[in-house]
Amino acid sequence: MNERKLLSQLKHPFLINMFYAFQDYENLYLVTDLVTGGDLRFHHNKRRKFTEAETKFFVACCIIGLEYMHNNGVIHRDIKPENLLMDANGYVRITDLGISREWTPDNS
């Protein structure tokens, strides 16, 4: 339910975006972007290493997505290759906000 709440508040090209959510007695279903490129772990295991330019690009996508989340008061807390999906154009999309938390900056 935490993930559903956060996904309903966030919309960004470098995040997995949720369009609908519904549930039955046992499950919660999230209708999200279709991202067919696989996760970053899969690609790393397949290729064994990325070029410096590719790495910079992936990191830039992550930083922009995380910056958006932080500007909206959300901390991800589970960034790892399995939670970074690649879309059909090679852009990295952050997913799995299950243990993410909302926060407000301390003004003191």
Measuring CA to CA, which residue among 40, 22, 45 is closest to residue 32? 22
Phi-psi region of 38 (alpha: psi -120 to 50; beta: other; left: phi over 0): left
CA 18 to chain CA centroid, nearest Å: 11
Most distant CA atoms of the chain, gap in Å = 48
CA distance 75 to 69: 7
Residue corresponding to tokens 């399995």: 82
Any catalytic annotation for residue 78? yes
CA distance 41 to 102: 27
Active-site hit among 33, 39, 78, 87: 78
Residues labelled catalytic: 78
